[in-house]
Amino acid sequence: MFADRVLSGMRPTGKLHLGHYHGVIKNWTSLQNEHECLFMVADWHALTTNYDEVGIIEKSIWDMVIDWLAAGVDPEKATIFIQSKVPQHAELHLALSMVTPLGWLERVPTYKDQIDKLSHKDLTTYGFLGYPLLQAADILIYKAGRVPVGEDQVPHIELTREVARRFNHLYGREPNFEELAKAAVKKMGKAGKEFDQLRVRYLQDGDGEALLKARELLGASQNLGAIDGERLLGYLENKGKIILPEAEALLTEASKMPGLDGQKMSKSYGNTITMREEPAAVSKKIRAMPTDPARVRRTDAGDPAKCPVWQLHQVYTDSATREWVQAGCTSAGIGCLECKQPVIEGVLKEQQPMFERAQQYLDNPQLVKDIVADGCARAGKIAQDTMREVREAMGLGY
């Protein structure tokens, strides 16, 4: 059922690096085994900040999708699609804009942050203010229950929940709601009795477990259509119909992936290794990494805690190797190039299957286009259904 559905997205910013892999995409490749997953290229979002350099967006899209596939996102399991190719995102964004107070958007912390940070650009645009509302539309159009994101995106998920609540409050009211809900409970047959009991336990005793169980019952019921399902989701909590359910952020553990200089790996710091970086370049970059400044000469002892290479050991080598580093560094028993070698090997080993998976797509770019076209069609079907309901709820069902 949709509560289980996962949606996430990424702006097309060009080739991805190992920070993206460890921070986001590795997580996607495991989610796709447990949930219905939709992974979106957020090209409209790219335009909100890059409206003046549109030339790079298209190439970035294909590079990024190939990186996803290379990392193991599986088009047989997950739906890969492009935001602007499913026009209902834009349509829902407009619909939601009718009911979203300006203050909610102005208060989102990323808004002023980004305007300051990207001060070379004029971001005092209507589109940029709407960035998190567009993201809300991305999520709500699929009624996704789970949204894997990093810490910085949590305010956007909060806004999504607020907007959904407001929408349901405004448009989920039906004059004969109680009767319709009770009729829907009857349709559930035997499970309906249990549903009623769980509802009472939740409403009277605040039993959260009962709420979850009741939702499960709804999800499992074969006799309810989508509309009755929404009615009962709302009835369960003594609200009206829940047309747009509230999503949860699935917090991706902050990526510990350090860059070549020990800061977080990020394109803007120029400290990245791309996911499909040539092996020779990987070697060269790691061999050029700064180390503990105390190790001026090979005979000077060092301290791994003061060295960015040590941070990469945490990601790429086993505990035996790390013991060897600790002992060798603090006694000047090993040289820094020696110390870097197992890290280089670790990175190359991780990248090997990515190169292999990417090759067929590089040889035949049409394959990637077909995967995306197929994903857009699948996503579009869900989005159309939601939009139909939204139009009806807003009195635009004619």
315 forms part of the interface with ligand SF4 (CB under 6 A): no
Task: Identify the CA nearest to 291 among candidates 317, 346, 345, 328.
Answer: 328
Alpha helices by DSSP H, 206-264? 208-220, 226-236
Which pair of structure tokens corresponds to residue 146? 């789970």
Residues 50, 292, 311, 324: which binds ligand SF4 (CB under 6 A)? 292
Number of residues that bind ligand TRP (CB under 6 A): 13
Which range of residues in 60-68, 145-153, 270-278, 355-363 is near ligand TRP by CB under 6 A? 145-153
Which range of residues in 1-9, 94-102, 209-217, 325-333 is near ligand TRP by CB under 6 A? 1-9
Which range of residues in 134-142, 262-270, 281-289, 383-391 is near ligand TRP by CB under 6 A? 134-142
**Interaction partner, residue 42 (ligand SF4, ligand TRP, none; CB < 5-8 Å by kind):** ligand TRP
β-bridge pairing 37-41 and 6-10: parallel
Residues 45, 143, 276, 313: which binds ligand TRP (CB under 6 A)? 45
Please list the residues that pair with 146 across neighbouring strands: 6, 248
CA 281 to CA 278: how far, in whole Å? 5
End-to-end CA separation in angstroms for the chain: 28
8 A C-beta contact, residue 260 and residue 7:
no
11 forms part of the interface with ligand TRP (CB under 6 A): yes
Which range of residues in 209-217, 230-238, 301-309, 356-364 is near ligand SF4 by CB under 6 A? 301-309
**Interaction partner, residue 67 (ligand TRP, ligand SF4, none; CB < 5-8 Å by kind):** none
* Residue 311: CB minimum distance to ligand TRP, A: 23
Residues 6, 7, 273, 390: which binds ligand TRP (CB under 6 A)? 7
339 forms part of the interface with ligand SF4 (CB under 6 A): yes
The DSSP code sequence of 257-319 is: -B-TTSSBP-GGGT---BTT--HHHHHHHHHT----TT--STTS---GGG-HHHHHHHHHS-H
